[in-house]
Amino acid sequence: MPVYVTSPTKGRLGSRSTRAELIALLCEINKILAEATTQITIRHLFYRLVGSKLLEKTETEYKRLCAHLSNWRKQGVIPWSAFVDSTRWHLRQDTFEGLKDAAERSIETYRRDLWSNQAFYVEVWVEKDAISGLVYDTARRFGIPVFVCRGYASLSSMFSAADVFRRAEKAGKLPVIFHLGDYDPSGHGAADSAENSLHEHFGCNLLFERIAVTENQIRELNLPTRPVKLSDSRAKNWKGSECVELDAMDPGYMQNLVEEKITDLIDEEEWEISKAIETAERHTLESTFAAILKNGQK
């Protein structure tokens, strides 16, 4: 199948790129995708290609990459499933084919609240839709909700969050937020605004920890930087001249980071007791639905 080639344009990716150059780019992309242990964002791929000196670090170059990827995916040379889809969520009423289907799915999906006997109530907050899909699977394994802030969260969403946190406090738990966002004036400003709003406007007593992107991570992981956007009204108070997008961080690193932060809070003895109860309760469901499952009723 022929590789899609754009018409000549300015920039490294499109500066009269030859067929051989585009094939080389495609090979590097497929190599990166093959090495990935999970889906990645297109922005993360872009930063990897910039690091390999195959692309220039400009928004125009990023848009050209998106155009190439769109056509290569349509051609079938890059899998549709290669990149995380932040728009995959949809609203739909759960329905069943019958009682047997309902029973089987009830048993399969039953989850006990393993945090009921823990000292903390935990949430993961993410600045971007695209990243939420990467950390959701990790958080879901521990029964942790993920909230997408999308920059500056609305007061209505803060009110809803505060209501949940206050109920956790009444139950004797310390609410904890692990926040992941860009290292730039707007990213830090949005995180500060959320934390201050929960503390000052809604009176929540909680731990708000910004776990990515941090200055230490930028140095330790050698993350690619970009200049501060001078159009950002908060730029004048920003320390330094460089910024880093969350997308530049390796997805596997982010997932491991979220898992480590969550497990550090877990009382393992209580956790194992709750898991044993969950297993016993699932067996109870199986016994309860035994007749339906045996007869295959619909």
pLDDT classification of 7: cutoffs 50, 70, 90: very low
Same domain, 174 and 56: no
| Closest-CA residue to 166 (of 138, 124, 141, 201) | 201
Is residue 292 one of the residues assigned to a domain?
no
Is residue 206 one of the residues assigned to a domain?
yes
Same domain, 210 and 255: yes
Is the pLDDT at 215 greater than 60? The verdict is yes
Let me know: does 123 contact 147? Beta carbons within 8 Å.
yes
Instruction: Please give the DSSP secondary-structure letter assigned to residue 236.
Output: G
Same domain, 46 and 142: no
| Closest-CA residue to 246 (of 164, 187, 172, 174) | 187
Same domain, 234 and 147: yes
Is the pLDDT at 3 greater than 80? The verdict is no
Count of domains forming the chain: 2
Is residue 107 one of the residues assigned to a domain?
no
- pLDDT on residue 12: 52
Rounded to two decimals, the pTM is 0.80
Same domain, 67 and 129: no
Same domain, 170 and 76: no
CATH number at residue 190: 3.40.1360.10
Read off the pLDDT of each residue in 144-158 and give the average, rounded to a whole number: 88
Same domain, 192 and 261: yes
Read off the pLDDT of each residue in 193-221 and give the average, rounded to a whole number: 94
Tell me which of 151 and 257 has the higher pLDDT. 257
Is residue 96 one of the residues assigned to a domain?
no
The mean predicted confidence, pLDDT, of the chain is: 87
Please state whether beta strands 242-243 and 226-227 pair in parallel, antiparallel, or not at all (unpaired): antiparallel
- pLDDT on residue 8: 37
Residue keyed to tokens 């930063």: 47
Is residue 136 one of the residues assigned to a domain?
yes
- pLDDT on residue 6: 44
Same domain, 48 and 141: no
Same domain, 75 and 137: no
Same domain, 62 and 167: no
Note the pLDDT tens digit of each residue in 176-197. Answer: 999 999 999 988 999 999 999 9
Same domain, 164 and 242: yes
Same domain, 146 and 214: yes
| Domain, as residue range, for 251 | 119-265
What is the C-alpha separation between 198 and 161, in angstroms, rounded? 8
In the chain, % of residues over pLDDT 70:
91
Is the pLDDT at 125 greater than 80? The verdict is yes
